[in-house]
Chains A and B, each alone.
Chain A
Amino acid sequence: MSWVGSRVKRVEDPALLKGEGRFVDDIHLPGMLLAAVVRSPFAHARIAGIDASAALAIPGVHAVVTHADLPEAFRQPLPLLVPNPAIRYPVMQHVLAKDAVHFVGEAIALVLADDRYIAEDGVDLVVVDYEPLPAASDFRKAAAAGAPAAHAGRADNIAAEFAVGYGEADQAFARAAHIFKEELFQHRGAAHPMECRAMLAHQDTLTGTLTIWANTQAPHQLRDVYCRMTGAADDRVRVIAPNTGGGFGSKVQTYPEHIATAAAALLTKLPVKYIEDRREHFLSTHQERDQLWTVEIAVDGDGKVLGVRGSLMHDSGAYLPWGVITPFISATTMPGPYVIPAYRMKVTCVFTNKVATTPVRGAGRPQAAFAMERLMDRVARELGLDPAEVRRRNYVPADRMPYAVGLTFRDGSPVVYDSGDYPACQQLALDRAGYDGFRAEQASVRAEGRYLGIGIGSYIEGTGLGPFEGATVQVTPGGQILARVGSSDQGQGHRTMFAQIVADRLGVGPDKVTVTVGDSGGVAYGIGTFASRVAVNAGSSAHVAAGKVREKAIKIASHLLEAAEEDLDLGDGRVFVKGVPAVGKTLGEIAAFANGMPGFSMPAGITVGLEDTSYFTPQRSTYANGCHVAVVEVDVETGGVKILRYVTAHDCGTIINTMMVEGQVAGGVVHGIGNALFEWMRYDDDGQPLTVNFGEYLLPLATETPCIEQAHMQTPTPLNPLGVKGAGEGGTIPAAAAIAGAIDDALRPFGVKITQVPVTPEYLLDLIHKKS
């Protein structure tokens, strides 16, 4: 049997369920200092001076570290990791604020003390002399001429401008039978993993190695940024990501606090730990926040799309740690699963005095899906067609795969949908949802004064982005099978997934494979866990490496057993002679031979060790796809929305573990429900955040989450040996679109049109009021 494709129980869970997980905050090193951070209370201010003397006078406070106290190599901004020629001002945040702060929560100083309580008392006593400056808050206002500058001295707040597209969009519009235009405001809040950021840095005095334990999604990147800034050698710095309580994109970035904590450890020659609290997380962990889309669609008389064009404004926040990645992905995802003959999108990125925005689960795609799906619904409404039918007329048909869209993706490769059957996927979702029977139900409850509606959200998702991820598979003379992967796990179940892949190649059970993830010391190079890329990249690497180990084991066994390789087979952890299972060698015995014997030469043609390291480098992204159907009930008197049913049909290529894919999709949908109805990071006109706890920032709870009914399709991609596509973000991408479509549909009698997410009760009441 094959382990890939089985519902293998997660190897991670027993320890987590028993409370034996080890998170950064569970690590206690002798002499360790606890850090608390002095953060800016102003969205924009000059720093005229800092007086730490009162804090330093508190017994138990060891040091206060400000910009001026940092070693020289640390007195610089973090590097811009994903440059783009469109960026006009590549402004990056300093490790600790130098002479100005640009958002509420920007780190100014670290107070290091015997415990966190003392450190926080110290923070209260650090006197920072601020000269407040006017702040750019709402990105729409900030983009206008004459708005307060987010960075003093700049003429305007336009961080970057670019356009993407193909074909002759204006010509398509000139000959269209119908043109429909929408202005869509979309807010996405933040990621909000349950575990906030956590880090611990310690330089070993014996070896000189700096070890940083951090709940990062990208240990290698953190190491590389640190080395790039300080000139340290790669092998003197090790980043380990232990158990991590969620990330959803927010923990991909290397943050100033990471580097500051490391600097503090070097300065004090003691281990330094910093654990972010929830309020700090609301203030200073990256978010995704606001986009404004002004989009137009041109269709012929049958509702077939001729072109799409428009502009997209994106709230970048105060800095550009990942350049313009999010709006770039948004703009290049807009065509979605449809044949759009001509497309043009102009993108403007705006600086505001708010924490930087970087990708959150879905990474700009949910907004693109929302924009495209709102247009599809609009076409259906205006032309009197069923929304499912309009989509059907426009889907890329299965026989046009692979389908080149005409765009260039963020990795520079052309956007080519490799495989999938989008019309069939929609049909699967509609059938599951009982779409055809819904209208009758809708009509009958409407007679009772109840408003039910159904909505569709379709999407594609570029997943498995390169450049690579590495894996080492090794068999020890003791017979242990070890797999080491650089990317880290935030709860997805990566160790289970790798164990399944390696087990298949080496003819053992997954329980026989010990997987280590999230250690920059495990493999030399790595990129990180984001963009639904680990199964594609690291999974393929593990598959290839385990295959190499398998070949080598057979080759050595052929030497030891004096049998031809073709006559050998591998199973139950042994290589044996086909038909004569008693004659064979265990993998441990083979590994012992490959590790050599003192004084004996290696036999000709046999290299040292039963081990292989592979770096799978995908040619380009694979495209997963799916279709969601939501059924909602709207209370037209209170503006309340209840999701009655939620159906997903999803194609992520070969499924490695159905149970884990279902978990990813369900979790993703809940994120999408939050974006559709609840999560709103509010700021006032001065850039002061208003929602800094979960009382004010609403996450969906069990009461808001329907049973998520899932159907799967599997169209393996030809782009990697496993045939897998990413599954981590698809649940989120079309959710807001499907829910908004359903609300529209429910409120048809009022002629209401949703052009904003989240949909709040007062927004709905206002729409209904205006129409009735």
Chain B
Amino acid sequence: MHPFTLDRPRDLAAALALRAQAGRNDAPAEYIAGGTDMVQLLQEYVRQPERLVSLAGLLDNRIEIGPQGLRLGVAATMAEVAADPAVVEQFPLISEALLNSASPQVRNQATMGGNLLQRTRCPYFRDVGYAACNKRAPGSGCAAIGGENRWHAVLGTSDDCIATNPSDLAVALVALDAAVEIRGAGGSRSLPLVDFHRLPAATPHIETVLEPGEVIAAITVPASSAARRSHYLKVRDRASFEFAVVSAAVALEMDGARIRQARIALGGVGTKPWRVPRVEAALAGASLEPQSLRQAAALAAENAHGRGHNDFKIELMQRAIVRAVEIAGARA
């Protein structure tokens, strides 16, 4: 770990000012919230900020549910949100995604904001022993493309980076049309979460549309009947304490035995949380028959591109969609 100073500003304005002095990524100053991802990256020398600006106590941690929907203060922990009775009842997808993430210890410490901004698990990114990683060291190349890439993305990749976004929460939220409230020195703005993360393209080191210094302040999720009839399916190498190989977040509005509207997002396969509108369109009006589900799910594979070790994910994600829709559809 490189030496750094830790600032604990009194209010958000002071924090924004401190951080805004710095550049966009791998900047001399960084925010830290629960620290569960940041400290690991510091320990492994992946991030080497001169100064850390603590967000502790500066941001809202309330969980509010009203007729409009759900509002999560970003400082709420994964454990608090997962266990909130109203979330469990009205937005089970969010609770399931969180309970399938990390470990109880991590969930007690980690915040909503930190979760959406956690960095990829690409082993080359996380090991400074590898010189080539465009995300860590822009312009250095990508060790994963010709290397071990079973963990990597098959959707939204570029020739410069094929890393997945590892957040389970983000996948569930994207399926539910969530938005993020962003606050910066210049004021606030709100943005659909699906537009928050960027594709890697030629600049994989820039992962979100946050401007230097900006923070996420809250997450909002619109009320919908689909949110109740939902399922988060996570396929992973080990039944707990492990990131997704493939995951599918599904929320359904049913019309008797037929699907009126489906909202589906995938994890573990995309360079960002991956919504599949073509699959959703094909499912509108469809029954829960395996045949029609499979046909629709196949559309997720359009433009999917494996790199060898991760080829299996293309088939696996379609099966995950089918199973998640079946499970959600069977729910009352």
Chain A residues within CB distance 8 Å of chain B:
41, 104, 117, 120-121, 279, 637-640, 642, 678, 682, 684-685, 688, 690-692, 695-696, 698, 700-704, 760-762, 765-766, 769
Q: With both chains docked as a complex, state the minimum distance between the C-beta of B266 and any C-beta of chain A, in angstroms.
A: 14
13 of the cross-chain contacts (CB-CB < 8 Å) are A104-B129, A121-B3, A638-B316, A638-B320, A684-B143, A690-B123, A690-B124, A695-B243, A701-B238, A701-B240, A703-B238, A760-B237, A761-B245
Q: Chain B nearest CB: distance from A437 CB in Å?
A: 27
Residues of A within 8 A of B211 (CB): none
What 4 additional pairs, Cβ within 8 angstroms, besides A117-B1, A703-B239? A638-B319, A696-B123, A698-B242, A700-B238
Contact A698 B129 (CB under 8 A): no
Cα A690 to Cα B147 with chains together (Å): 10
Contacts of B129 in A (CB 8 A): 41, 104, 688
Instruction: Return the chain A residue nearest B319 by Cβ.
Output: A637
Are B238 and A678 interface neighbours, CB within 8 A?
yes
Complex CA gap A169/B280 in Å reads 63
Establish whether residues A765 and B239, one from each chain, have CB atoms under 8 Å apart when the complex forms. no
Is the Cβ of A682 less than 8 Å from the Cβ of B237?
no
Query: In chain B between 131 and 185, which residues have their CB closer than 8 angstroms to a CB of chain A?
Result: 143, 147-148, 150
Q: Separation in Å of the B126 CB from the closest CB of chain A?
A: 8
**A-B contacts at CB below 8 angstroms, number:** 67
Docked CA distance A279–B237 (Å): 21
CB within 8 Å of A: which of B210-259?
Answer: 235, 237-243, 245-246
Question: Using Cβ atoms and an 8 Å threshold, which residues of chain A touch B312?
Answer: 639, 761-762, 765-766
Measured between alpha carbons, how far is A121 from B48 in the docked complex, in Å?
13
The interface residues of chain B lying within 8 Å CB-to-CB of A691 are 123
Residue among A121, A640, A690 with most chain B CB within 10 A? A690
Q: Are A761 and B237 in contact (CB under 8 A)?
A: yes
Most B CB contacts (10 A, CB to CB) among A682, A684, A691 go to A684
| Minimum distance in angstroms from B303 CB to a CB of chain A | 21
Which of chain A's residues has its CB closest to B128's CB? Answer: A41
Quick one: which of B44, B237, B246 contacts A698, CB cutoff 8 A?
B237
B315 within 8 A of A: yes
Query: Taking the complex as formed, is B323 at the interface, i.e. its CB lies under 8 A from any CB of chain A?
Result: yes
Shortest CB distance A587–B (Å):
50
Contacts of A678 in B (CB 8 A): 237-238
A66 and B150 alpha carbons, distance in the complex (Å): 39
Residues of B with C-beta under 8 A to A684: 143, 147-148
Q: Which residues of A contact B124 (CB under 8 A)?
A: 690
By secondary structure, the A interface counts as loop
Quick check: is B121 within 8 A (CB to CB) of the other chain?
A: yes
CB contacts (< 8 Å) of B238 on chain A: these are 678, 698, 700-701, 703-704
Smallest beta-carbon distance B321→chain A, Å:
11
Distance, CA A206 to CA B143, complexed state (A): 56
Of residues A104, A700, A761, which shows the largest number of chain B Cβ atoms within 10 Å of its Cβ?
A761
CB distance from B285 to the nearest CB of A (A): 25
CA distance A483 to B123 in the complex (A): 49
CA distance A442 to B238 in the complex (A): 24
Complex CA gap A701/B241 in Å reads 9
Whether B4 sits at the interface, judged by CB under 8 Å, is: no
> Once bound together, how far apart are the Cα atoms of A703 and B242, in whole Å?
11
Within the complex, the shortest CB–CB distance from A59 to chain B, in Å, comes to: 13
> Are the C-beta atoms of A701 and B239 separated by less than 8 Å?
yes
List of B residues within 8 angstroms of A701 by Cβ: 238-241
Closest to A769 in B: B315
Residues of chain A contacted by B143 (CB below 8 angstroms):
684
Q: Does B127 contact A (CB under 8 A)?
A: yes
Residues from chain B with a CB closer than 8 A to the CB of A765 are 312, 315-316
Q: Decide yes or no: A762 and B123 within 8 Å by CB, A637-B319, A638-B316 being known contacts.
A: no
A34 to chain B, nearest CB (A): 15
CA–CA, A750 and B128, complex, Å:
43
Q: How far is the CA of A685 from the CA of B267 in the complex (A)?
A: 28
In the complex, A698→B245 CA distance in Å?
13
Q: Are B148 and A704 in contact (CB under 8 A)?
A: no
**Contact of A692 with B245 in the complex, beta carbons under 8 Å:** no
Residues of A within 8 A of B44 (CB): 279
Restricting to B101-124, which residues have a CB under 8 Å from any CB of A? 121, 123-124
Q: Report the Cα distance A279→B127, complex, angstroms.
A: 10
Q: What B residues does A696 contact at CB under 8 A?
A: 121, 123
- Asked if A692 contacts B127 (CB within 8 A), the reply is yes
Q: Chain B residues near A698 (CB, 8 Å)?
A: 237-238, 242
Whole-angstrom distance from the CB of A244 to the nearest CB of chain B? 25
The 6 closest A-B pairs by CB, nearest first: A703-B239, A762-B312, A637-B319, A703-B240, A638-B235, A690-B123
B312 to chain A, nearest CB (A): 4
The chain A residue with its CB closest to the CB of B313 is A762
CB distance A688 to B315 under 8 Å?
Answer: no
In Å, the complex CA distance between A678 and B315 comes to: 22
Smallest CB-CB separation from A680: which chain B residue? B237
